[in-house]
Chains A and B, each alone.
Chain A
Amino acid sequence: MAPVPTERDLRLDLFRGLALWLIFLDHIPSNAVSWITIRNYGFSDATEIFVFISGYTAAFVYGRAMRQYGFIVASARVLKRAWQIYIAHVFLLAIYLAEIAYVANSFDNPLYTEEMGVLDFLKNPDVTILQALLLKFKPVNMDILPLYILLLAWFPPMLWLLLRAPSIALLASATLYALMWLFEWNIPAYPSGTWVFNPFAWQLLFVFGAWCALGGAQNLSRWIHSKVVVGLAIAYLVFAFAIAMTWYFPRLAVFVPKFLGEAIYPIDKTNLDVLRIIHFLALAVITVAFVPRDWPALKSRIFWPAIVCGQHSLETFCIGVFLSFAGHFVFTEVSNRVFTQVVVSFLGIAIMVAVAALISWYRQAERQGGGPRPPAAKPGYAGGDV
């Protein structure tokens, strides 16, 4: 079996926290502040970071549980986590329905007769709510949690294999990804189409994260720190940046040779395009090369807000989705000036940090004072959430 590092890597919490902030900013439509998020400067975005780190921490926490308590107990914990995420998803759905119902009742404009048709599903809630509970009907921006649920539900056997034959497990995951491209596998959605985040594709990043957590990262470290790899990563990031600029300045598009355009477009997010994976890997290589694991700043106050968000990722994510609804609501009902957008964005992040800090405090308070569950009863959760 591969050795598992015992101390939690704070870099994971830091970057997952940052990814959650970026997801929040990107989820507010027409938000000027979302200019700063990485999706505007390359192929991949915060979703890749979130899924990779989620795979990494899942393997880190449940891998240890599987060794100590066996397959059944660890699987039960993974599935309990999946259930918690499902509950969180349904909670968000309720908030979303409330927002939609309000808009449907209060908004009327002859210019947007067609667009208001999107509210028609309120007319047959019997079908819609059932389809939503089955994870087939997923409103805009509510696609990540269903993906996460599915990835976790499928994780126990994968983790079992990862602990015994990590290379074969990774190969199996890559094969599934390749078969998905070959046969165009995806899960159907309601009322039509397929899942926005194809689980058959995105599982690759999740499993790769898990593989890294279970010793793969150590095996790769010689490669990651080699100057050639770092140089290639930088070159690729520059290339992606140059391409991204042509999206905003159409005049630059003429400099993209036709063969290149035909080779790279469309850059498929649903099926996790290879260009996106490479972009994420390049970002990861640069990060690992320049942010060492024992970097003292990781324990400083500057990064604490992001780290605490990353340590309570499910709660922070849900708060982020809720706040993005609320932020859009402020834009439509109060003001959509750039100043408001900046205030809403920073206030939103501050609320995410405050809630994460509150949860952190709450967990500690629960563990103190000899409550019904002393800390020793939950060794698998030491150091934060999955």
Chain B
Amino acid sequence: MKERLLLLALLMLGNAPVWAEQPAECRVAENLLESSFRLPQVTRAIAAKHLTVLVMGAGSSQLPGPNGAANGANGTGNAYPSRLQQALAQQLPGVEVKVTTDVKAKRTAAEMVKGLPAALSASKPALLVWQTGTVDAMLAIDPDQFSHALDKGINIAHSAGADVVLINAQYSPRTESMIALGTYAEDMRWVALQHEVPVFDRFSIMKLWGELGTFDLYSATKKLDIAERVHDCIGRLLADLVITAAKPEEPPVNGSR
């Protein structure tokens, strides 16, 4: 609701959408993609025409079915990491884009951090996209431990020379009364602010889609069509966030991290 009012206010002020090439269904959420933080390593990687991204996440970074694996070969899969690769490649002509993944269901933030150094040294990415929070909330992990794990993961990525973008939990209206996401979302926002790391606010974006009727997130179905379109939109909006945050506004400062 709040976001919707804000969006209306923005539209009335004449903030025209920038990403005109996207299908209308995703464009509702652009005001949620603002980030005041930059991604200097990605800027450098784009300039060097070679961008590697590591997506680390849990169950909501993949889809069931043969094409649902997070790392569908060369952007042909239907989960958002694969869609991200395709969107980045489209928007960055001439840049060799590669998205690798470390995705496994039911992992807490702390469990993901354990495998992070190995995953980073395997693919040497310029950017770590880290989706987490849902499992921690479901298991009611101590919020301090969650914050600590985020802290540690971001530090590991930064010292390995990778920028970080965090992704928060999905908006899931049916299970909303059973999973208390609030504390974990706030903790993530706060840790991100301290480390000056952008957050891809998947929760608010999906909630807005639900409110505006873009997607019926209530529907009980075994079919993949809505899920695929949601992941497609997430992948493309994520690409927008990355590219905007990597725009070289100022002359790049060498060795800033």
Contact = CB atoms under 8 A, between A and B. Distances in A.
Interface of A: 29-30, 32, 35, 99-100, 103, 106-119, 139-141, 189, 191-194, 196, 248-250, 254, 261-262, 265-266, 269-270, 324-325, 328, 331-332, 336, 338
Interface string B171-190: 01111111110010011001
B51 to A, nearest CB: 27
Given A103-B174, A109-B227, A192-B139, A249 B36 contact: no
Contact of A111 (B105, B134, B176, B230): B230
Residue from A107, A114, A261, A262 having most chain B Cβ neighbours under 10 A: A114
A140 B59 CA distance: 21
B63 interface: yes
A266 B143 CA distance: 11
Contact of A110 (B58, B173, B176, B227): B227
Main secondary structure of the interface of B (DSSP, over half): loop
A280 to B, nearest CB: 19
Contact of B174 (A193, A265, A332): A332
Contacts of A328: 176-177
Given A110-B65, A191-B140, 19 more contacts: A32-B1, A103-B175, A106-B220, A110-B68, A111-B170, A111-B230, A112-B60, A112-B172, A112-B174, A114-B106, A115-B60, A116-B175, A117-B106, A140-B180, A193-B141, A261-B193, A262-B194, A266-B187, A332-B174
Given A140-B177, A266-B190, A331-B173, A111 B139 contact: no
Interface residues on B, range: 35 or more
A140 B138 CA distance: 10
Interface string B102-124: 00011000000000000000000
Contacts of B138: 115, 117-118
B178 A100 contact: yes
A337 to B, nearest CB: 9
B174 A35 contact: no
B190 A118 contact: no
Given A110-B224, A110-B227, A111-B230, A118 B175 contact: yes
B108 to A, nearest CB: 9
A264 to B, nearest CB: 10
Contacts of A103: 174-175, 178
Contacts of A114: 58-60, 105-106, 134-135, 170
B216 to A, nearest CB: 10
Contacts of A261: 193
Contacts of A324: 177
Contacts of A248: 2, 6
20 contacts: A29-B177, A30-B173, A107-B220, A109-B174, A109-B226, A110-B63, A110-B64, A113-B60, A114-B135, A115-B172, A117-B138, A118-B179, A119-B178, A140-B178, A193-B140, A193-B143, A249-B6, A266-B186, A328-B176, A332-B174
A119 B175 CA distance: 9
A111 B173 contact: no
B207 interface: yes
Nearest to A137: B140
Nearest to B178: A118
Contacts of A193: 139-143
Contact of B142 (A32, A111, A118, A192): A192
A348 to B, nearest CB: 14
A338 B174 contact: no
B36 A254 contact: yes
